[in-house]
Structure 1
């Protein structure tokens, strides 16, 4: 209504985005694609093509899978608009012609008319004025036909409603006459009856009044007592919820901060000591730290996993490399229990796959580490088989097999529940009981499920199937997007406001490697002092600092009239602080630990934006 009737896109677009979130919760792909379709159209109408790019990709992916003709005309038109925006004129022309052809074949007049209208814009841009004018004429004619049809439908409905109103008035008139006759015949008897009823009602009312008064006094006393108990219970519930939130926030921050140090130091070692670049131990340390970070995030946000708030990433990876990394990272557990890990990968599986490799690795890590813990002097097999190929989608079946202690049939239904541990007789098997629960929920995000076959004393086999994409053009595009120019011809000045000395060291070295000038201060007061004396191109601001936190420091910087971009560099969850960061005048948020590529991409973006405004 707001976008396409009132043309108030700034109000309508947020409603579409909310609708998409609700569609994800109920797992309704049709609602999700139609909402993304309208969102893309609205964004393209106001020339926000970059913002609508992701939604367009989702619709294209949906159509490739479902071949839904109800969206094909608009989808072709939107692809034509996007290609026009990218100046891919030939490609845009083909899309618009397909949209017009399909619109005629499917008799979708409304979508067909808009396709002619958008096509005319392309032709006008190409200076083909004659064809542009012809398409505008067709657009006008189709709109007139649609308007005429709607008027006829409304006229038919109004005519039927008028006849129904006439019939109703006639029936009401007959009923009124009947009621008047009936009332006239029984008027005298009703008066006597009413008199008797009134006396009887008065007597009942008097009796009820006495009883109700007694009951009310007793009920009031009970309600007062219950209300007091409810107030106490509600207060305790609120305190419990607040403590839980504070606990999760604190744990998240306290775990991410040292992890930033581990990841950062591993990166620095690899940068400064090139001879260690092939060290399996150092690479395993870095991989394990990143895996631990992902695991911490998912454990702390397991409710978000259940509510489908996590969106899978698109990264390119090699399956054999991932299996080898898992094997190397868990080698110490294997040696402890004298186990061997055997990797078997189908030769038909492509070298480069596209998917969320970090969460896929987390699934494998949980399953293989479980197998190693519950197996002694044995063998763990990690197998991958390609079972189906449909276009660019490769279905890969993964099996993790061990010859360990096994799982009893009674326990096999419980192992995927949260905080459940089976087969634990003493303290031999450590863990939280969350591993398999997280595996199941992560696989649900991949659109998959997991099965288990096991027998006590004869080992266990976990099996699941995951779909990955194989497209070498997209793979190259992803790799190119990851690569960032890490050199700069101009020395840019960066101010880092951070109280943790390890974090100061890592951040400073990371920044100076890119030919940036970096100064570090320990708190907000020192930041204010140095900003009055010197100018900087960007400020990296920690949030949780003594004396004065990052939000208050940012507010005071803005109060001084300093417009330098401020980027929050924090271990807090981004969703928890976004609103307060915006109110404090911050420009962006980066969650520690981060990739240096991500850091410089965001820094350069904000510096360029700031310089263009100045």
Structure 2
């Protein structure tokens, strides 16, 4: 027995040394930015630590995994593994390791997720724990992070006491990992205090030490902050050189190949995590079964009561197993759905921005042609172009945000319109498509329908245009009819019946039930027809917003008919009010001076024309640095700021404008969706947001409101 105990101790001790060596190797690879190898080795260390039930080693393994995901910009995963590490560090009663984890969590919340309040809470927990253990080096390290966090949000006075503590104990407990950042922070503070020469010395020392250090992430931060300092001092060439160095280092650290390989390793690691959960459940199952076997010896003495209890226990175990299995399935399904939703949102955001930017130029130049060449105002072609541009914008917004339609987040508008004019516009816009297949578009409108109705004319136009264009594509040498009849009247609501009929190829009965599904295109050959398969799906969802449904009748070779009914309001007095609100006089007795910050030449031209048409003085600059330069010498009533600009985006430009003490209202003029940028816009000092393309009426309402508010001292 003694010999067996000694061998078991020797085996465990050897295993501990092996795990410790694996953890150190994973940590070394992480510090050299070899994320793939670090994740693979830390996975092996975690498996070994779990087998030996060593809570401290489990905590260390999870910490390295979290650090890798942190560097790979997967912050939610990093937080997840850091918190698992914190759980096992607490079980191991290792306060020193808990200290480090509080710092890691503070770093993510402050510098990555920009949730400074939550991040500083973690930092202060670290200081509290370090004070109990009298760990001066950990207190020193945490003070560096808190000072950096406060400086990052521009609160230099609140952050300086922490930097002062760091400077005081630099020689005593400072190391190579903090000396670069400490010099950078001193440079930032001296820059804030306008002590330029001191700031320059600190920044250059930070960069010199960073170049000598193996890890280059701190060096990149030093280049970035030095660039900001040089910009402040109008040394733009040097500022650009440091900004380029920052971008180059960042690109080297996070190159695509490393991320791709590391993602594979990370996926295997997550599979191991699920496997551990399953093993845990199986172990619980075995334990429960063994306990039940032992209990049966006692149960024999009380057979009747024991039988009832046994049934209850078996039922309870089955319920527990079912709930655990069901919860795991739900959790996995939830994670898959969230990941798919995130990818969809990112795709929609990118495509939305790329499409809205050229559309702004199309809509703006069309309006300019109509305004500058009055003789073209009666041109059907130019009117059709303007209508098509507006329709395309509406279509792009709806297709790119079809998830909002499905969640009933699209709200119908109340606009006055003439049904005959709207359908004529649709007919003219689709004339090119009708000519392609030698088709005719015939229109029949009930004369009993009032001249002006109130409703969402853009959504109605989108429905009719989708159905008519669908008919034209599947018809050759034929005709498509648009028939509108007055079906009935209830108070102020006039119910209109719409019939879109063609004599094309028709739709088979077997396919009629699925043509309204997304991306479905029945009876299509590769060379026949173009389209996304979204048109009829959008029609069905838009009609749902109107409280209506669509009816389909079709036979192969005889054509197709779509019909639906929509109620519109008829109120002459309300129509008059709406028209008066639309035809507002945007001219102003005062002449305001507007600065446009925009890098796209076409967008510069369109925005400048819109502003000058209202008799405002307008100046245009190409980038954020030029904006800062002109604001030093000139005063403006309002600034129109593009967001997506090279070198320095609109958020950073606005932040620097506010740091100069300039309180001029800033309006973000952007193609990004408003919900995506609202939080960052507010934090950077932007007063309002308007999405391109836009109606001039809306822009001037915002301009006049903000300028008057600024003049009144609000």
TM-score bucket of the superposed structures, by smaller chain: 0.5 to 0.7
Matched, 1:314 2:414: yes
Provide the rounded CA distance (Å) in 1 between the counterparts of 2:335 and 2:570: 54
Which of 548, 564, 577 pairs up with 2:648?
Answer: 548
Matched, 1:585 2:685: yes
Cα deviations by residue, 1:327-352 (Å, 9 ceiling, x for unpaired): 00000011111111111110111110
Cα deviations by residue, 1:204-261 (Å, 9 ceiling, x for unpaired): 9xxx9xxxxxxxxxx9xxx9xx99x999999887665544332211110000000111
Provide the rounded CA distance (Å) in 2 between the counterparts of 1:349 and 1:237: 48
How far off is 1:408 after superposition? 0.8
Matched, 1:595 2:695: yes
How far off is 1:610 after superposition? 1.6
Which of 523, 535, 546 pairs up with 1:446?
Answer: 546
Q: 1:326 to 1:232 in 2, by over 3 A?
A: closer
How far off is 1:270 after superposition? 0.8
Q: Secondary structure at the match of 1:487?
A: coil
Which of 491, 497, 503 pairs up with 2:597?
Answer: 497
How far off is 1:575 after superposition? 1.7
Provide the rounded CA distance (Å) in 1 between the counterparts of 2:542 and 2:671: 23
| Contact 1:375–1:403 under 8 Å retained in 2 | yes
Q: 1:526 to 1:200 in 2, by over 3 A?
A: farther
Q: 1:406 to 1:230 in 2, by over 3 A?
A: closer
The answer for unaligned runs of 5 or more in structure 2 is 1-294, 311-320
Matched, 1:249 2:358: no
How far off is 1:484 after superposition? 2.3
Provide the rounded CA distance (Å) in 1 between the counterparts of 2:687 and 2:698: 15
Q: 1:597 to 1:234 in 2, by over 3 A?
A: closer
Cα deviations by residue, 1:118-165 (Å, 9 ceiling, x for unpaired): xxxxxxxxxxxxxxxxxxxxxxxxxxxxxxxxxxxxxxxxxxxxxxxx
Q: 1:444 to 1:559 in 2, by over 3 A?
A: same
Q: Secondary structure at the match of 2:409?
A: coil
Which of 465, 486, 511 pairs up with 1:365?
Answer: 465
Matched, 1:375 2:475: yes
Matched, 1:486 2:586: yes
Provide the rounded CA distance (Å) in 1 between the counterparts of 2:437 and 2:418: 29
Q: Which moved more, 1:363-372 or 1:594-603?
A: 594-603
How far off is 1:529 after superposition? 1.8
Q: 1:560 to 1:399 in 2, by over 3 A?
A: same
Aligned ranges for residues 154-233 of structure 1 at < 5 Å? 197=298
Q: Which residue is 1:419 aligned to? A: 519
Provide the rounded CA distance (Å) in 2 between the counterparts of 1:547 and 1:200: 84
| Contact 1:523–1:548 under 8 Å retained in 2 | yes
Q: Secondary structure at the match of 2:661?
A: coil
Q: Secondary structure at the match of 1:533?
A: coil
| Contact 1:483–1:597 under 8 Å retained in 2 | no
Aligned ranges for residues 46-57 of structure 1 at < 5 Å? none
Provide the rounded CA distance (Å) in 2 between the counterparts of 1:420 and 1:199: 66
Which of 433, 441, 452 pairs up with 1:341?
Answer: 441
How far off is 1:574 after superposition? 1.4
How far off is 1:426 after superposition? 3.6
Provide the rounded CA distance (Å) in 1 between the counterparts of 2:508 and 2:620: 58
Which of 280, 289, 294 pairs up with 2:389?
Answer: 289
RMSD of aligned alpha carbons? 2.7
Matched, 1:267 2:361: no
Matched, 1:351 2:451: yes
The answer for unaligned runs of 5 or more in structure 1 is 1-193, 209-218
Q: Secondary structure at the match of 2:668?
A: strand
Matched, 1:466 2:579: no
| Contact 1:484–1:601 under 8 Å retained in 2 | no
- How many corresponding residue pairs? 401
Cα deviations by residue, 1:38-62 (Å, 9 ceiling, x for unpaired): xxxxxxxxxxxxxxxxxxxxxxxxx
Q: TM-score, normalised by structure 2?
A: 0.53
Matched, 1:410 2:510: yes
Q: 1:292 to 1:346 in 2, by over 3 A?
A: same
